[in-house]
């Protein structure tokens, strides 16, 4: 079983730990505050999840630089030299590209709140990422509109972080997103929200992923049990898909 895929010339993990749970992102509803309190400023709690995922085959993290996440990554990489960082820019006025470059991020996605605006700031950040020798990508929250814009106006961008799951949660028009993804074989799609913020069984989630042109996934997880189950099914589905 493989733990990596190729994106351009880089080895990118099939499964990366997502940091949406660590920062307590809004899609987790009433649990968001609980997750944020448990993880954001607790590097030991983050390290526990990273280690559990690594032991099963998850070799990376998709990070938004915040709290103690960067500190945890630094500690973890000292013991695991094949651990790969990908990242998304910070949504504030400073995208924190320097922080991500310092972590040796192999891909830096422009945050979806910027990508979906489809304006000059998006182009400027993509250019800055590229100038640093990092693969530039776009995270999106409105996949149909933003992917169509990118395909037409930014043909050099071939790497995307998109919501993609069996129930179409957060996807908008699910069939249209599937068609866009499956018809662009030259692009690398990393899936996020694959479990629909905990609403989809992992076995079902990754059997669906395996049917589509998804190269890898980032998964927010909060317990050892969840890591063990989800990472196993994710690797199975993504190996089948790749």
Q: What is the largest CA-CA distance in the chain?
A: 44
Query: Tell me, what's the pLDDT at 30?
Result: 87
For domain 10-241, give the CATH number.
Answer: 3.20.20.100
Cβ-proximal residues to 78 (8 Å cutoff; 6+ apart), any chain? none
> What's the rounded Cα separation, in Å, for the pair 87 and 34?
23
Distances (CA, A) of 106 to 72, 132, 152, 174: 18, 10, 25, 29
Rounded to an integer, the average pLDDT of 181-188 is 98
CA atoms within 13 A of residue 16's CA, in its CB half-sphere: 33
pTM of the model: 0.96
SS3 148: helix
The answer to whether 88 touches 129, Cβ cutoff 8 Å, is: no
pLDDT, tens only, 88-98: 999 889 999 99
């Amino acid at each position: 079983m493989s733990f990596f895929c190729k994106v351009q010339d880089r080895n990118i993990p099939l499964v990366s730990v997502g940091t949406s749970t660590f920062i307590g992102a809004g899609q987790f509803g009433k649990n968001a505050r609980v997750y944020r309190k448990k993880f954001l400023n607790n590097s030991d709690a983050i390290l526990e999840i990273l280690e559990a995922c690594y032991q099963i085959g998850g070799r990376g993290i998709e990070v938004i630089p915040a709290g103690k996440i960067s500190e945890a990554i630094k500690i973890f990489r000292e013991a695991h030299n094949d651990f790969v960082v990908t990242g998304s820019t910070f949504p504030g006025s400073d995208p924190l590209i320097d922080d991500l470059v310092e972590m040796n991020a192999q891909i830096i996605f422009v945050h979806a709140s910027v990508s979906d605006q489809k304006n000059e700031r998006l182009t400027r950040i993509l250019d800055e990422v590229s100038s640093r020798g990092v693969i530039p990508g776009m995270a999106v929250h409105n996949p149909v509109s933003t992917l169509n814009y990118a395909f037409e106006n930014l043909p050099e961008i071939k790497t995307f972080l998109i919501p993609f799951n069996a129930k179409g949660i957060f996807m908008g028009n699910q069939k249209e997103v599937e068609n866009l993804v499956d018809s662009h074989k030259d692009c690398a799609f990393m899936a996020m929200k694959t479990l629909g913020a905990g609403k989809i069984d992992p076995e079902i989630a990754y059997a669906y992923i395996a049917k589509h042109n998804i190269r890898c996934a980032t998964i927010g997880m909060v317990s050892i049990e969840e890591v063990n189950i989800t990472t196993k099914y994710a690797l199975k589905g993504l190996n089948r898909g790749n």
